[in-house]
Structure 1
């Protein structure tokens, strides 16, 4: 499994009051409806006001690198990239999901 992670930062003078931000967000929200390679899709607006924070994040789950590659050239994704390019910059990290680790210690057994 590959996790495709993207963090978006608005360009100077852009914020959520700009109608283009809502259009870009809606395009991102709709990708799983139109791109079959997406196995899982989480996205949302930033909730913190820390100076290092980005404005929007997404994490997509894909079967393998080839599925990510097909997603990247899919017309719906390309359209979304164009919408975000007008209003934001971003950083990307794709990583092999090694598993989920819980912060809750396992129950003791006797």
Structure 2
């Protein structure tokens, strides 16, 4: 199993009040239902106000590296990436369990 973790940080001028951020969150929450490789999908806004904190986290679980690759190229996932690319930067970690 591989745990896929992504942390998103808004670009300057973007907040949760920005319509594009609200749309990005909405689409992000749908990824778990739309991408069959995902066994689990968690999405959550950060509640910390620390300057180093990111704004949103997603955590997914897939069976193996092949499933991770299929998830990464899935059309719905690519749609979500395109939306987030406009408003944020992010970091990822893929952890083998």
Which TM-score band (shorter chain)? over 0.9
Point out where structure 1 has 5 or more consecutive residues left out of the alignment: 98-110
- Structure that is richer in helix per residue: 2
Larger radius of gyration: 1
Point out where structure 2 has 5 or more consecutive residues left out of the alignment: none
Q: Find the aligned partners of 2:26 and 2:10 in 1 and give their Cα distance.
A: 16
Alignment-derived partner of residue 39 in structure 2: 39
- For residues 1-110 of structure 1, the aligned pairs below 5 Å read 1-97=1-97
Cα RMSD, aligned residues only? 0.6
Q: TM-score with structure 2 length normalisation?
A: 0.98
Q: Find the aligned partners of 1:7 and 1:74 in 2 and give their Cα distance.
A: 19
After TM superposition, the runs of 4+ consecutive aligned structure 1 residues lying more than 4 A away are: none
Q: Find the aligned partners of 2:90 and 2:76 in 1 and give their Cα distance.
A: 18
CA offsets 1:75-96 (integer angstroms, 9 cap, x no match): 0000000000010000000010
